[in-house]
Amino acid sequence: MRQSFDETADRSYGPLHLPLIRSAMAAQGLDGFIVPHEDEHQNEYLPAANDRLAWATGFTGSAGAAVVMANEACLFVDGRYALQAPDQIDCGLFEIKDLMEGGVPAWLEAKAKPGQVLGYDPRLHSPDSLARLEAAAVKAGCMLKPVAANPLDDAWGGDRPAQPAAPVVPHPLQYAGEASADKRHRVGEAMNADAAVLTAPASIAWLFNIRGGDVIRSPLPLGQAILRKDGTADLFLDPAKVTPGLADWLGEGVTLRHPSELESALSTLTNLVVSIDPAQSSAWYFSQLDAAGARVYRMPDPTALPRAAKNAVEVEGARAAHRRDGAALTQFLHWVAIQNGGLDELTAVARLEAFREATGALKDLSFDTIAGAGPNGAVVHYRPTIRTNRAAKDGDLLLVDSGGQYLDGTTDVTRTIAVGEPSAEMRERFTLVLKGNLALARVRFPAGITGSSLDALARSALWAHGLDYDHGTGHGVGSYLGVHEGPQGISKRAGGAALLPGMIVSNEPGYYKTGAYGIRIENLQVVTEAAPVSGGERPMLGFETLTLAPIDRKLIDVALLTDEERAQMNAYHARVLREIGPQLDADAAAWLEEVCGPL
């Protein structure tokens, strides 16, 4: 089984590790140290060796930061982790602050004392985040000091896991849809620079048509690349990862180099215009390029948009992956429906993964499965562990958010299931969430629209009842890459990339009642060109829903749906029955026909 039940949610981490960190800080003459969640590659999901925030605090969320001082410490998390963080850390050792309310810079301004020296690792901070920290330090009168050796790494010592060295393998054209040489020339010609420094693992995997396994739940290799305008490139990979035939696959335009050569390679870019993404690359790269005399352009990663706008082969692969994954999920939903009590979260997680394994095509999960029964479902990024495992009781809601990694696509889907009879309130709140999901699935919009312009569609039914949720409505998804992919997304935050045909985004409104239950309905959908409208004046875009799995009808209050919404829901269930039914055994197929009947 690939699902991890790692008990890193351990309150003993603070008492065990804080003294070691403080001792290592003192040895370097530091009064404090800033610990971001990000690693050297600005990853969201981290190799175990780079999960410094979890080792220091016990908090295992995918976003956050900490400051460790000699006599106090603070953990910063956003609203998604407001319930998880206190459950995982020792609140007697760490104060918890909202990351969105000023974060580390605001804390420094309020807490740091004049003359104090706080260390930071320049390989872990983006230049923009570092600038905010430096401005706060100036106001506080303290000093930020870059360290050559991370004191947390020194404290971790011999117990620290080894850096990952998973084999790097070709990603065949039957899945990639475009040769690496063609991608490199296309991206290189479009760059307003002589060269680009690439540090994001997903960008490297996409550009060179390679995949690896260095990052948990994502088939990504850790490495760096320098892409030139003529399409040639240097690719920096640990030789231990390079598989036989990989150099031939990469072709004549790519030079494989040892990671130890990266610093000297950057030093040769003197007087060249070099683009680098401040959101993807750490401050260390900028300081190296400045020292080399390069003309540094802060620009978005030039592979981000081409990677996000999937080609026809990738989109068809996504459809195939979702049909396969939808059948596995539907078998699981049928299995849940026929249980006679006693179903707990860890059992549900293991059983769902077994159904995906049975496809014979699963390469990995796309993230650790979220299965929250009752009040655990209200913890947005909850992950069951042996300590927190809860049985689903009659009258509970069971929220299951899961996904798979397949060679032809990445999936991410959430279904909320009624165990026994749901309350009237549950049905009302679920239907309000459903209305938002349906609105976002059927919308048409002109080219140039960003996800922030669509976000209110998913929330308006909840808003009308004085309700909302504290996470984004949609994130981008890669093609056998990361389950969270930019630059597209759907959220309240202004800006972001315009939605383009081929982009895949999630549609996942929700509602969470602390201490009681959580609701989320998530489908993935791909941006498509919409059919022309009679009398219309502009070309329009729309969405095609990729995810295929039934939505629990016991939770739908049909009286709250409009005729249009009811027809849309019936059409979706008819499609699920048509495309998923033939893949199921007789019992599951009969159950699916029943639950997909017209409202």
Distance from C-alpha of 479 to C-alpha of 314, rounded to nearest angstrom:
7
Q: What is the pLDDT of residue 382?
A: 87
DSSP bridge pairs for 402: 413
Q: What is the pLDDT of residue 2?
A: 44
H-helix or E-strand containing 440? Answer: helix 424-442
- The dihedral through the CA atoms of 382, 384, 387, 393 has a sign that is positive
Q: What is the pLDDT of residue 293?
A: 97
Residue 207 CB contacts under 8 Å (≥ 6 apart), including other chains: 180, 183, 184, 187, 198, 225, 227, 233, 303, 307
Q: What is the pLDDT of residue 10?
A: 54
Q: What is the pLDDT of residue 44?
A: 76
Exposed e or buried b for every residue in 437-459, given b needs 16+ CB within 10 A? bbbbbebebeeebbbbbbbebbb
What residue ranges in 237-396 does DSSP mark as E strands?
254-257, 273-276, 295-298, 364-365, 370-373
The answer to whether the beta carbons of residues 322 and 524 sit under 8 Å apart is yes
| Tokens standing for residue 251 | 């072709």
Distance from C-alpha of 313 to C-alpha of 171, rounded to nearest angstrom:
13
Q: Shortest CA distance to 379 belongs to which of 367, 370, 369, 390?
A: 370
Q: What DSSP designation does 21 have?
A: H
Domains of the chain plus CATH, in order, are 13-159 (3.40.350.10), 169-307 (3.40.350.10), 309-587 (3.90.230.10)
Q: Tokens 């195939």, residue?
A: 320
Q: Report helix angle 586-595 to 312-337, nearest 10.
A: 90
Which strands sit side by side in the sheet containing 370-373, from one edge to the other?
Answer: 370-373, 397-402, 413-418
Distance from C-alpha of 192 to C-alpha of 67, rounded to nearest angstrom:
38
Q: What DSSP designation does 444 have?
A: -
Q: What is the pLDDT of residue 405?
A: 98
Q: What is the pLDDT of residue 87?
A: 82
Q: What is the pTM of this model?
A: 0.91
Q: What is the pLDDT of residue 381?
A: 81
Distance from C-alpha of 49 to C-alpha of 238, rounded to nearest angstrom:
16
Q: What share of the chain is helix, strand, coil (3-state, %, to 5)?
A: 40, 20, 40
What residue ranges in 530-579 does DSSP mark as E strands?
540-545
Q: What DSSP designation does 161 have?
A: P
Q: What angle do CA 521, 523, 529 make, to 5 degrees?
A: 140
- Alpha helix segments (H runs only) across 30-165: 52-57, 84-88, 103-111, 127-140, 151-156
Q: What angle do CA 104, 107, 109 make, to 5 degrees?
A: 110
Q: What is the pLDDT along the chain (599 residues), one digit of tens a residue?
A: 344 434 444 556 767 899 999 999 999 999 999 999 999 888 777 888 999 999 999 998 888 999 999 999 999 998 777 778 888 888 889 999 988 788 999 999 999 999 999 999 999 998 988 999 999 999 999 999 999 999 999 999 888 999 889 999 999 999 999 999 999 999 999 999 999 999 999 999 999 999 999 988 999 999 999 999 999 999 999 999 999 999 999 999 999 999 999 999 999 999 999 999 998 899 999 999 999 999 999 999 999 999 999 999 999 999 999 999 999 999 999 999 999 777 999 999 999 999 999 999 999 999 999 999 999 999 888 888 888 899 999 999 999 999 999 999 999 999 999 999 999 999 999 999 999 999 999 999 999 999 999 999 999 999 999 999 999 999 999 999 999 998 999 999 888 899 999 999 999 999 999 999 999 999 999 999 998 888 888 999 999 999 999 999 999 999 999 999 999 999 999 999 999 999 999 999 999 999 999 99
Report the DSSP pairing between strands 445-446 and 474-476. unpaired
DSSP bridge pairs for 413: 402
SS3 142: coil
Q: What is the pLDDT of residue 5?
A: 37
